[in-house]
Amino acid sequence: MTLEAAGLTVAEESGYRALVALGGGSAEDVAARSDLGPPEARRILAALERQGLATAVPDGRFAATPPDVAILPGLRRRAAAIDQARAAVTDLMETYRGNVRRRRADQLIEVITGAEALQRCLRQIQDDARHELLWFCKAQYVAVPSGSNRAEYDALARGVRYRVVYERAFFDDPGAVDNVADGIRAGETARTVPELPLRLAVADRSVALCPLVPGGPAGAGEEITAALVRSSSLLDALVALAERYWEIAVPLHVTASGSLGSTAGDAAELTAADRHLLSLLVAGIADKAIASQMGVSRRTVQRRIQHLMELAGAATRMQLAWQAARRDWI
């Protein structure tokens, strides 16, 4: 029996099936066709008539209402109600999880202990990522040696964006330069800074993983311990930190010869006019005023700023100002 979801009892379904198979009939006909006795068949036929599944015809006989008319509309209404209930449950679960997170710290931060556990966790958050990974790579790996993170290539292949910041000492590790170049060729967007404050991986801005003690080759024998941080103010702070370092980092690219290089230029390429323009820009002078002081058009100022941004490997004027100060261009 399969019509219980439509609201029929086992006996009602048996009687309805018999009536449909007969093409209509009396209580005796239904009883003979099913496992119902005549008195029960009469009671069932009356119940089916009340539910609109049967119609009384002359001579004490009944005709079955077509199943698509009698049953399908009710099933559709039940299906819609179930979908609405499912959506309501989903909303309630989000509210429940949010309340639990606020009350229980263990729902916000999970401690991962040991290299194997950390490797599994890194693999999992990359496999689950749908949009983006933000990554800080410091020198001397903790759990995943340079070039061994195959999960990155899998994620890149399915369209996940990787933004990776490497600290300068990272490239002292054997094979690191070639491995980063391979990652860039596969689709990774890479930048570098002199030093990073911590190791960090952020997936889809919804979960972050960062070691709590050094561990690994540089950990003086300490067991690796990391924190898996979920939606919280702490996660927001880690995302902001990652974005800040990304903003000030120097972009990396693979040269035509296949080697790794930076888009940041050298101070020797700057003219006195460039340095003057940069000093005015850093001081917060508007383009129109800069053009007036330098005796050139506003368009020339904007074109020159764009050239300096390319020279510094900067995506914004803020990055240009930071890179100019860092490189003693002004």
Q: What is the DSSP letter of 153?
A: H
Residue 259: the pLDDT is 64
Average pLDDT of every residue of the chain: 83
Selection from 30-39, 72-81, 116-125 with the highest mean pLDDT: 116-125
Listed residue (189, 183, 181) closest to 161, CA to CA:
189
The model's pLDDT over 101-137, given as tens digits with 9 standing for 90+, comes to: 555 555 678 888 888 888 899 999 999 899 999 999 9
Listed residue (121, 97, 144, 130) closest to 209, CA to CA:
121
**Whole-number Å distance between alpha carbons of 301 and 307:** 10
Q: Is 107 exposed, middle or buried (0-12, 13-18, 19+ CB in 10 A)?
A: middle
Q: Is 279 exposed, middle or buried (0-12, 13-18, 19+ CB in 10 A)?
A: middle
Please say if the pLDDT value at position 98 is more than 80: no
Q: How many CB atoms lie within 10 A of CB 27?
A: 22
**Whole-number Å distance between alpha carbons of 31 and 204:** 63
Report helix, strand or coil for 133: strand
Listed residue (52, 15, 59) closest to 34, CA to CA:
15
* pLDDT tier, 157 (very low <50, low <70, confident <90, very high otherwise): very high
Q: What angle do CA 165, 156, 177 make, to 5 degrees?
A: 45
- Contact yes or no for 136/196 (Cβ under 8 A): yes
